[in-house]
């Protein structure tokens, strides 16, 4: 979310994690995540029309692949764009 504020006017986010959506909608029910949820709440205010929706994992496979691939770099990797960088490996075909 922080990076989106710096690089894009995107207001809508998608996740395959139903728990994350529940945490954002009802943060008081998730006291163990209070610090993280406070930061998310602070970032939400920066967006004029913040939305987060559930995207079923079967429709989110490509994003999931990109996130897992990015974690293998073992350093911070930021990318915001409409196309896939040529240096990223292609996901396995389902």
CA–centroid distance for 39 within its chain = 14
- Confirm whether 83 is domain-assigned: no
pTM, 2 dp = 0.61
pLDDT digits (tens, 9 = 90+) for 57-80: 888 777 778 777 777 777 776 666
- The 3-state secondary structure of the chain reads CHHHHHHCCCCEEEECCHHHHHHHHCHHHCHHHHHHHHHHHHHHHCCCCCEEEECCHHHCHHHHHHHHHHHCCCCCCCCCCCCCCCCCCCCCCC
- Confirm whether 23 is domain-assigned: yes
- Confirm whether 92 is domain-assigned: no
- Confirm whether 61 is domain-assigned: yes
- As for how many domains the chain has, the answer is 1
Q: Range of 47's domain?
A: 2-71
Higher pLDDT pick, 72 / 92: 72
- Confirm whether 91 is domain-assigned: no
- Confirm whether 38 is domain-assigned: yes
Q: Is the pLDDT of residue 94 over 60?
A: no
pLDDT digits (tens, 9 = 90+) for 13-69: 888 889 999 999 999 999 999 999 999 999 888 888 888 889 888 887 777 787 777
- Confirm whether 78 is domain-assigned: no
- Confirm whether 20 is domain-assigned: yes
């Amino acid at each position: 979310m922080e990076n989106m504020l710096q690089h894009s006017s995107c207001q809508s986010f998608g996740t395959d994690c139903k728990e994350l959506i529940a945490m954002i909608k009802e943060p008081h029910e998730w006291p163990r995540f209070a610090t993280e949820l406070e930061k998310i709440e602070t970032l939400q205010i920066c967006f004029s029309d913040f939305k987060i929706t559930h995207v079923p994992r079967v429709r989110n496979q490509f994003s999931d692949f990109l996130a897992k691939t990015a974690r293998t770099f073992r350093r911070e990797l930021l990318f915001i764009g409409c196309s896939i960088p040529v240096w990223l490996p292609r996901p396995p075909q389902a």
